[in-house]
């Protein structure tokens, strides 16, 4: 099976976590897109979905799935999203698609975060994937200097603007021994909106698409 087939397989396995009669939170990226495509078959059983990005909202609407504002939803039993890396503690790096801030907000509201990945995303230690950091544009150089002082090598994601009107620095070379501590440290740099470490609020369930089927932990 190629990587995209594994993504589709794991996305379809996540459909059983959707709670009938309840709004579902939906992530961003190619794995999440497979989930949206599968969700279309269940659309008459849910009031709608909360989207973590404009791209996801557009795809949901394309399938006739109502898109609800997070502020109008008083409970969200489940949020389903992909990841760029995930470790054995269900901590993740996310934001390869640049939607990290809205993803983190929806994840914060959800009772259960279901992470869906193909096996290539599993790592022993987070950090091989450059860590995305969303930054207020006028703070770009300031934040970059602080990231260098922490041992990272920030790279400006040229030509990319987040749904919130900000920019992304992708940080290479970070030695992520303590993801919770680093997530907090980075969020405390003035000008940082959010970073792509999801460790303070890790996933609750990780589904992994691999050759022999889908494993769960």
Write out the residues near ligand 5RP by the rule CB under 6 A. 27-31, 81-84, 94-100, 103
The torsion angles phi and psi of 96, rounded to 5 degrees, stand at -55, -30
Which two structure tokens, joined as six digits, stand for 99? 């939607």
CB of 100 to ligand 5RP, least distance (A): 5
* Residue 211 assigned ligand-binding role: no
**Can you give the C-alpha Rg of the chain in angstroms?**
17
Nearer to ligand 5RP, 29 or 127 (CB): 29
* Residue 31 assigned ligand-binding role: yes
* Residue 127 assigned ligand-binding role: no
Per the DSSP assignment, residues forming a β-bridge with 167 are 135
Active-site residue, selected from the candidate residues 103, 112, 155, 158:
103
Nearer to ligand 5RP, 141 or 164 (CB): 164
Which two structure tokens, joined as six digits, stand for 175? 């030695």
CB of 67 to ligand 5RP, least distance (A): 17
Nearer to ligand 5RP, 72 or 158 (CB): 158
Quickly count: other Cβ atoms within 10 Å of residue 168's Cβ.
24
Residue 103 annotated as catalytic: yes
Q: What is the 3-state secondary structure (H, E, C) of 69-119?
A: CHHHCCCCCEEEECCCEECCCCCEECCCCCCHHHHHHHHHHCCEEEEEEEH
CB of 27 to ligand 5RP, least distance (A): 5
Q: Which residues are annotated as a binding site for substrate?
A: 28-31, 81-84, 94-97, 121
Active site positions, annotated? 103
């Amino acid at each position: 099976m190629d990587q995209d087939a594994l993504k589709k397989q794991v996305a379809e396995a996540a459909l059983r976590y959707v709670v009938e009669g309840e709004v579902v939170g939906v992530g961003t990226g190619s794995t999440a897109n497979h989930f949206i495509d599968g969700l279309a078959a269940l659309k008459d059983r849910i009031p709608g979905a909360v989207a973590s990005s404009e791209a996801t909202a557009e795809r949901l609407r394309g399938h006739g799935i109502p898109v609800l504002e997070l502020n109008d939803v008083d409970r969200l039993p489940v949020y389903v999203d992909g990841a760029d890396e995930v470790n054995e503690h269900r901590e993740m790096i996310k934001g390869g698609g640049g939607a990290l801030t809205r993803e983190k907000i929806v994840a914060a509201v959800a009772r259960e975060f279901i992470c869906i990945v193909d096996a290539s995303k599993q790592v022993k230690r987070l950090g091989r994937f450059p860590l995305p950091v969303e930054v207020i544009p006028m703070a770009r150089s300031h934040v970059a200097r602080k990231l260098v002082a922490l041992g990272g090598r920030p790279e400006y994601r040229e030509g990319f603007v987040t749904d919130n009107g900000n920019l992304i620095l992708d940080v290479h070379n970070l030695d992520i021994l303590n993801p919770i501590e680093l997530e907090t440290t980075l969020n405390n740099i003035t000008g940082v909106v959010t970073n792509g470490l999801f460790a303070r609020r890790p996933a609750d369930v990780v589904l992994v698409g691999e050759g022999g089927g889908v494993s769960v932990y």
